[in-house]
Amino acid sequence: MIGDARAQRGEVPFGDGDARRHLDVTATQMVWRDQDTICVMIRDVTARHAEAERNRHLAWHDQLTGLPNRTAFQDRLRGALAEAAVRGEVLGVAFVDVDQFKNVNDIVGHDVADRLLVDVATRLREGVRGGDVVARQGGDEFLLLLPNLGRRADAAGLAERVLAVFRSPFVVEGREIQLTASIGIAVYPDDGRDAAELVKHADMAMFQAKEAGRDGWQLYDSAMRERTARLVETRTRLTHALERGEFLLHYQPQVDLR
């Protein structure tokens, strides 16, 4: 007869390297035939543990490139901002967009385009400093966390380093493909105090870099907000005007009198 049973349970790793296993161990103290007894049940839960690790990895990493995803970047950025505030440091957020990547995608196909994005991710990791963070925002857009900037102007040098990784052509399946990028940078604390604001302003600066002709970088300034707002408003008004048939076409003949 079993009486006064008390159970303790835990999960423990066992072994090293590839042979490492995760065991679910349950120890139950009981009385069996008037003797104090401990019954131990051991289950191999290695597969369950590996599946949980994969799910955790996917929740925080981009599936294609293996880089931190947008969620992970925001989390790291918030942590870096808290440290920068305590230490009085300057940090930067860079928004990197591969120029005209949709055209490349249409020409080479999705499979080659995906391999190109993996190569871009690799080059970006090689082009930044050791403590910087490279993340994939989505599509052909990447985010860089640039902590411990000595001063605002140092962000320009890092932008040039990033642009340099695109100078040599990418080679996929024996074919050379030349890519360029546009980069926008926002700097804490001048350009924003929280993660969302810095990413938004870096995005605005990237848009200005594209407007300036691509293959370059722009630092955020407060005037960009007004220019971007005007551009968005103008595009919206033009779209509505086209829908309502408010455009009137005038022909202006040009005649060569000779």
Contact 146, 219 (CB under 8 A): no
Catalytic residue status for 140: yes
Per-residue confidence of the chain (258 residues) as pLDDT tens digits? 344 445 555 555 666 655 677 778 888 888 878 888 888 888 887 777 666 667 675 678 999 999 999 999 999 999 999 999 999 999 999 999 999 999 999 999 999 999 999 999 999 999 999 999 999 999 999 999 999 998 988 999 999 999 999 999 999 888 899 999 999 999 999 999 999 999 999 999 999 999 899 999 999 998 777 777 787 788 899 999 999 999 998 888 889 988
SS3 per-residue string spanning 76-121: HHHHHHHHHHHHCCEEEEEEEEECCHHHHHHHHCHHHHHHHHHHHH
Residue of 62, 97, 132, 140 marked active site: 140
Q: What is the pLDDT of residue 55?
A: 61
pTM: 0.72
Give the pLDDT confidence score for residue 181 in this predicted structure.
96
Per-residue pLDDT, 9: 57
Q: State the pLDDT at residue 77.
A: 97
Residue 246 phi, psi (nearest 5): -90, 0
Q: How far apart are the C-alpha atoms of 21 and 195, rounded to whole Å?
A: 40
Instruction: Report the pLDDT value the prediction gives residue 176, as an integer from 0 to 100.
Output: 92
User: How crowded is residue 70: how many other Cβ atoms within 10 Å of its Cβ?
Assistant: 15
Torsion from C-alpha of 74, 77, 83, 86, nearest 10 degrees: -80
101: how many CB neighbours lie within 10 A of its CB? 19
